[in-house]
Chain A
Amino acid sequence: AQKVTQAQTEISVVEKEDVTLDCVYETRDTTYYLFWYKQPPSGELVFLIRRNSFDEQNEISGRYSWNFQKSTSSFNFTITASQVVDSAVYFCALSSTGNQFYFGTGTSLTVIP
């Protein structure tokens, strides 16, 4: 069975603070893909990153960084020096079949100016 758990329902930080969003996944497949999406109030899901199960290299993109650890089945997302524009709901997702995403329940991030 495929499952994604985002234990943090809501997080509030003050602008310029760093924040980490946790994601834990479950799958029996050896080949799979992990994603992070951002959902602003407008509703669309905005793609942030994709990692495959064979690439455990951490990635940094500007203020965003991702830590993938297969040993703990985690794919955490850190925003450095948070900004008000980062306020949104963030979803972690898992896919191994190519035709279906399994999403977590999301973490609502509020950045207070």
Chain B
Amino acid sequence: ETGVTQSPTHLIKTRGQQVTLRCSSQSGHNTVSWYQQALGQGPQFIFQYYREEENGRGNFPPRFSGLQFPNYSSELNVNALELDDSALYLCASSLFNREYGYTFGSGTRLTVV
């Protein structure tokens, strides 16, 4: 059983650029959630995808968007990057509407300069 894999591991972007982060969910899971973890903080919920549609969104602006594909993998896109977007982005997969059984990936460390 494979876990959640995220790519790339690290990324450096310039302010104003766009970035795409990728996540492959654990086998058998149909739901993907994305979290942003700033340095020294707890993860903050960005959004969740189920059946290729957004199923809940946290307090993040529209320039944060996502996709889920038929194989349940997912992308997080961030447009017009700002310095404050520098963070660890964590992806978690699960079965729909289950509070347990979340599997987190190791994250993508994004640095915006």
Query: A: which residues have CB within 8 A of B?
Result: 4, 6, 33, 37, 42-47, 50, 91, 93, 95, 97-106
Contact = CB atoms under 8 A, between A and B. Distances in A.
**Which secondary structure dominates chain A's binding surface?**
loop
Nearest to A4: B42
Q: Which range holds the interface residue count of chain B?
A: 20 to 34
A39 to B, nearest CB: 9
Interface string B86-113: 0010101000011110111111010000
Contact of B104 (A44, A99, A102, A105): A44
B42 A106 contact: yes
Contacts of B106: 42-44
B43 A99 contact: no
Contact of B99 (A33, A45, A103, A104): A33
